[in-house]
């Protein structure tokens, strides 16, 4: 090849072609999406994230959760994601417009988390994505409902323990606890009221049968905030075969001063804190769980077809009385 000019031009030209084609044009096509709403301008989805959820996303990034967990549901024709009940419709670009960074993920050493918040027991389900209308209801709604105007992290920081953690635990009625979607079989604990009894027996690893997703005796209801904390602290107390690392450094052991903190983790067996001590989540751990509880793509999107049969599995899509939930139509 003679002369530099054609070489330079070619090098720049090929790269510019790729840059325009794969980043600039897509940005023009789907880079400026708005939340959708119904005719009256209500039922807005998605909503901006609260400060605590954003902080949780930073904890998620810092600890590399993305290297094992994806946050995207593939369409029915493309994979078994929907059959695995990871969602009732495929993910769409509009689901992610407020996410930064976006954690689509490239690896599923662990489960997909796109709808992990939607799988929480109805009692403390994340603010249903369309539910910006009535933030006053439950503590969960108050703390996590994204109200863009008053998103001071300070006030929210004071609130979340009630929402994200174990406050509801004593209050959870037996009726709501096994409300998790999916086949609840033998081992399912009838209610968390049985927790103290089961806690006495040293850790009950589910040795028989598929260990996940099933309720383990003596633990908080699956996918509740309290359950996430136990799972993060000691993954193998919930699923013996899990190869998720434990995140104990996000938790603190402290001496019980007067009464057991409402935040304290309900640990069993060898994980349990010694007498007079308790394990409580740090602020980062609470944010991380708040972030996970907010992961919820169950709200229908106009441009994406939801699978009819699976829609029933989604608490937010069904007209169930989700506390923070459905706005008045």
Partner 1 sequence: MNPAGIPLKEPSISAAAGDTGQLERALIDASTRVPVLIFYTSAVAWLILGTLFAGFVSFKLHSPDLLSDISFLTWGRVRPAHMNVMVYGWASMAGMGTAIWLMARLCRTVLRYPLLLVAGAGFWNLGVLLGVGGILLGDSTGYQWLEFPSYAAIILFVAYTLVASWAVLMFRFRRGEQIYITQWYLLGAFLWFPWLYAAGQLMLFVVPVQGVLQAAVGWWYANNLLFLWFGAIGLGTAYYMIPKVIGRPVYSYHLATIGFWSYALFSSWTGMQRLVDGPFPAWMVTASIAATILTLIPVATVGLNHHMTMQGYFPLMRYSPTLRFTVFGAMSYTVFSLVGVLISLRSVARYVNFTEASIAYSHLGLYAFFTMVIFGSMYYIVPRLIGREWRYGSLIKLHFWASAYGIGLMTLMLLAGGFLQGSSMENPSLAFSENVETILPYLRGRSLSGILLTASHFIFAYHFGLMLFGLGRKSTVPTFLNPVEAEGAGAH
The single residue among 42, 83, 158, 254 that binds partner 1, judged by CB under 8 A, is 83
Q: Does 233 bind partner 1 (CB under 8 A)?
A: no
CA 251/CA 239 separation, integer angstroms: 20
Which positions from 292 through 311 interact with partner 1, judged by CB under 8 A?
A: none
d(CA 319, CA 317): 6
* Position among 37, 38, 42, 84 found at the interface with partner 1 (CB under 8 A): 84
Residue 143 vs 290, nearer CB to partner 1: 290
Q: Where does residue 23 fall: left (phi above 0), alpha (psi -120 to 50 degrees), or beta otherwise?
A: alpha
Residue 95: exposure state from Cβ atoms within 10 A (0-12, 13-18, ≥19) = buried
Single out the residue of 96, 223, 227, 291 in contact with partner 1 (rule: CB under 8 A). 96
Interaction of residue 227 with partner 1, rule CB under 8 A: no
Residue 184 touches partner 1, criterion: CB under 8 A: no
User: Nearer to partner 1 by C-beta: 33 or 198?
Assistant: 33
| Nearest residue (CB) to partner 1, 201 versus 243 | 243
Q: Describe the crossing of helices 283-293 and 225-233 by its angle, rounded to 10 degrees.
A: 120
Binding to partner 1 (CB under 8 A): which residues in 101-120?
A: 101-109, 111
Tally Cβ neighbours within 10 Å of residue 10: 11
In the region spanning residues 198 to 217, those forming contacts with partner 1, defined by CB under 8 A, are: 210-213
Residue of 45, 47, 87, 95 interacting with partner 1 (CB under 8 A): 95
**Token pair for residue 141?**
């709604």
Task: Say whether residue 20 binds partner 1 (CB under 8 A).
Answer: no
Q: Retrieve residue 82's tokens.
A: 């929907």
**Is residue 2 within the footprint of partner 1 (CB under 8 A)?**
yes
CA angle at residue 279 from 71 to 221, to 5 degrees?
Answer: 50
Pick 170 or 210: Cβ nearer partner 1: 210
Does residue 32 touch partner 1 according to CB under 8 A? Answer: yes
Question: Quick one: 163 or 268, whose CB is closer to partner 1?
Answer: 268
Neighbours of 251 (CB within 10 A): 23
Cα 314 to Cα 102, 142, 241: the distances in Å are 23, 21, 27
Q: Tell whether residue 248 is a contact of partner 1 (CB under 8 A).
A: yes
Tell the residue number behind the tokens 């994979």, with chain if given: 79
Supply the DSSP string of 93-121, one letter for each residue: GGGGTT-SS----S--SS---TTTGGGS-
277 touches partner 1 (CB under 8 A): no
* CA angle at 37 for the pair 34 and 42, rounded to the nearest 5°: 130
Residues 38-77, interacting with partner 1 (CB under 8 A): 57-58, 60-68, 70, 72, 74-75
Q: Does 247 bind partner 1 (CB under 8 A)?
A: yes
Phi, psi of 185 (to 5 degrees): -115, -165
- Shortest Cβ 7–partner 1 spacing (Å): 6
**Contact residues for 69 (Cβ-Cβ < 8 A; gap 6+):** 103, 105, 107, 108, 109, 110, 111, 112, 113
Q: Which stretch binds partner 1 (CB under 8 A): 135-143, 174-182, 237-245, 313-321?
A: 237-245
User: From the CB of 256, what's the least distance to partner 1, in Å?
Assistant: 22
Taking CB under 8 A as the criterion, the residue among 38, 158, 174, 249 binding partner 1 is: 249
């Amino acid at each position: 090849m003679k002369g530099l000019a054609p070489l330079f031009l070619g090098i720049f030209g090929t790269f510019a072609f790729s840059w325009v084609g794969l980043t600039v044009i897509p940005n023009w096509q789907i880079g400026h999406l708005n939340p959708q709403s119904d005719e009256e301008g209500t039922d807005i989805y998605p909503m901006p994230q609260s400060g605590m959820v954003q902080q949780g996303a930073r904890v998620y990034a810092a600890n590399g959760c993305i290297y094992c967990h994806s946050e995207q549901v593939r369409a029915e024709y493309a994979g078994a994601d929907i059959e695995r009940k990871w969602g009732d419709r495929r993910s769409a670009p509009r689901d992610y417009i407020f996410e930064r960074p976006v954690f689509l993920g490239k690896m599923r050493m662990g489960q997909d988390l796109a709808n992990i918040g939607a799988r929480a027991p109805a009692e403390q389900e994340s603010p249903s994505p369309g539910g910006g209308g009535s933030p006053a209801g439950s503590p969960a709604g108050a703390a996590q409902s994204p109200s863009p105007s008053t998103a001071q992290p300070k006030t929210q920081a004071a609130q979340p323990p009630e929402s994200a953690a174990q406050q509801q635990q004593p209050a959870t009625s037996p009726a709501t606890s096994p409300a998790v979607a999916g086949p609840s079989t033998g081992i399912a604990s009838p209610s968390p009221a049985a927790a103290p009894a089961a806690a006495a027996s040293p850790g009950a690893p589910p040795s028989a049968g598929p260990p996940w997703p099933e309720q383990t005796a003596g633990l908080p209801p699956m996918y509740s905030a309290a359950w996430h904390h136990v799972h993060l602290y000691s993954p193998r107390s919930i699923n013996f075969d899990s190869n998720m690392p434990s995140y104990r450094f996000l938790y603190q052991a402290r001496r019980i001063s007067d009464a057991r903190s409402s935040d304290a983790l309900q640990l069993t067996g060898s994980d349990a804190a010694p007498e007079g001590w308790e394990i409580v989540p740090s602020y980062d751990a609470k944010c991380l769980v708040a972030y996970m509880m907010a992961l919820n793509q169950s709200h229908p999107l106009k441009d994406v077809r939801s699978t009819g049969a699976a829609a029933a599995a989604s608490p937010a899509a069904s007209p169930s009385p989700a506390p923070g939930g459905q706005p008045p139509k």
